A and B are shown apart, each in its own frame.
Chain A
Amino acid sequence: MGIKVAVIKESGAQERRVALVPSVVPRIAKLGCDLLLEPVPERLLPTLTPVTRM
């Protein structure tokens, strides 16, 4: 079982940045991490790894 890495949505009204972008996901996975994400529009999700809806 991998390390669970959660990425939270930013709550600041003027904050438009995110902590993780799709291009970095494969390298995070290579470290042995499972990503946990808050719901976002599906079009923004990377297609590099299968998404499991819980």
Chain B
Amino acid sequence: MSIQPDKTAMLNAADIVLAVEPPELDVVRAMKPGSVLVSFLYGRNNIELVKALRDGKITAFAMEQIPRISRAQAMDALSSQATLAGYYAVLLGSVSMPKILPMMTTAVGSLRAAQVLVMGLGVAGLQALATARRLGAITEGYDVRPETRDEAHSLGAKFVETGVDATGQGGYARELTAEEKAKVRAVLTDHIAKADLIVTTAAVPGRKAPRLIDAEQIARMKPGAVIVDMGAEGGGNCEGTKAGETVKVGPTTLIGPVNLPSSLAEQASELYSKNILNLLEQIIKDGKVTLDMTDEVIAKTLATHDGAITAEPVREAVESPPAGQPVVPEAASVSPTPKG
């Protein structure tokens, strides 16, 4: 191990470069052709970066593209970071509430437990449900994918039934039709009005975060209620969310956190390091970088290789971006913004 005061020389000498966030262009330009980058990339939102990687003949692994298969769980950085983000979202919301989460019996009477609603039951949402339950809240979970019902129940939460199934690909929900949105809204409005704390985590990959709560629904919430919108970086799941800010919307406090995993940097780094190590163990054999393109994990995680963009959605975004269509980070990317 050596300390390198000259960053450019270090990058030029490196066979592999490790980072958390998508690197600056000058980092990529200092890397030698054929070297490997491992980091979050979010290529659809970082087109110039992808072009620089392609033109520099860098082999880039995008940690957000690790496939969600059993064998790759130990490399799944989105999940490791989303778990921490979901936990922290509940803590963040709870300290902004004018009441406690658990039921408490005192000499002068009992205090009721708070009602917590989590919308979007992916990795972050399930961890939010579990955390709220551990803190003594009465919990409800909602997701457009009905298969999450059992997971919510296993965490002691009720599942809000809307009668809409929007199961999509890759563990994410598909976008709802207008009719489905109206049906879901009708059911959810009452649950939103009863909640003391809501955590929203919904994300659709490569698109603006879906709107789950509108101004009219917020206006019906209890005084002092809090929403933590984990989709803030992708445009927000709630009307009025401002990324990186806490705002009052009528009676409700609306928190729009960005990069939540960084708030728990010690353990987020520990988990991310292990995700990277497990990936390196797949690509380093006998002291050499060896890429087995028939390996699903390697093939799906590669964003650029040997002067080409290998990730199809990224290639489409770089070479033929849809006109007028905003491209936003996947919520998990909670910069990785965690997905719901």
A residues with a Cβ closer than 8 A to B are: 2-8, 10-12, 14-21, 23-25, 27-29, 31-39, 49-54
A29 to B281, CA, bound (A): 11
In the complex formed, the residue of A with least CB distance to B17 is A6
In the complex formed, the residue of A with least CB distance to B13 is A4
* Contact among A16, A21, A23, A36 with B2 in the assembled complex (CB-CB below 8 Å): A36
Choose, from B160-168, B185-193, B209-217, B260-268, the stretch at the interface: B260-268
Which residues does chain A contribute within 8 Å of B3, judged by CB atoms?
37-39, 51-54
Whether the Cβ atoms of A15 and B21 lie closer than 8 Å is yes
Extra pairs beyond A6-B13, A20-B276 (11, CB < 8 Å): A3-B288, A6-B10, A7-B19, A8-B27, A15-B259, A32-B284, A36-B4, A36-B14, A37-B1, A38-B7, A53-B3
A54 to B3, CA, bound (A): 6
A35 to B277, CA, bound (A): 13
Whether the Cβ atoms of B262 and A35 lie closer than 8 Å is no
B135 within 8 A of A: no
Within B1-51, the residues touching A (CB, 8 Å) are 1-5, 7, 10-11, 13-21, 23-24, 27, 38-39
A10 to B24, CA, bound (A): 9
Which residues does chain A contribute within 8 Å of B265, judged by CB atoms?
16-18
Which residues does chain A contribute within 8 Å of B287, judged by CB atoms?
2-3, 31-32
Whether the Cβ atoms of B21 and A12 lie closer than 8 Å is yes
Which residues does chain B contribute within 8 Å of A16, judged by CB atoms?
262-263, 265
User: DSSP class of B's interface residues: helix, strand, loop or mixed?
Assistant: mixed
- Min CB distance B48 to A, Å, is 15
Whether the Cβ atoms of B273 and A53 lie closer than 8 Å is no
Which residues does chain A contribute within 8 Å of B255, judged by CB atoms?
none
Whether the Cβ atoms of A24 and B19 lie closer than 8 Å is no
B residues with a Cβ closer than 8 A to A are: 1-5, 7, 10-11, 13-21, 23-24, 27, 38-39, 258-259, 261-263, 265, 268-270, 272-274, 276-277, 280-281, 284, 286-289, 335
Whether the Cβ atoms of A19 and B10 lie closer than 8 Å is no
Whether the Cβ atoms of A8 and B18 lie closer than 8 Å is yes
A20 to B269, CA, bound (A): 7
Whether the Cβ atoms of B14 and A17 lie closer than 8 Å is no
* Contact among A3, A10, A52 with B1 in the assembled complex (CB-CB below 8 Å): A52
Whether the Cβ atoms of A34 and B1 lie closer than 8 Å is yes
Write 9 A-B pairs (CB below 8 A) sorted by A numbering. Answer: A3-B16, A4-B14, A5-B17, A7-B19, A19-B20, A32-B284, A36-B13, A39-B4, A49-B1
In the complex formed, the residue of B with least CB distance to A5 is B16
A36 to B277, CA, bound (A): 16
Whether the Cβ atoms of B277 and A4 lie closer than 8 Å is no
Which residues does chain B contribute within 8 Å of A51, judged by CB atoms?
1-3
Whether the Cβ atoms of B18 and A5 lie closer than 8 Å is yes
In the complex formed, the residue of B with least CB distance to A14 is B259
A28 to B38, CA, bound (A): 14
Which residues does chain A contribute within 8 Å of B15, judged by CB atoms?
3-5
- Min CB distance A44 to B, Å, is 11
Whether the Cβ atoms of B14 and A6 lie closer than 8 Å is yes
Which residues does chain A contribute within 8 Å of B335, judged by CB atoms?
12, 15
Whether the Cβ atoms of B259 and A35 lie closer than 8 Å is no
A14 to B168, CA, bound (A): 32
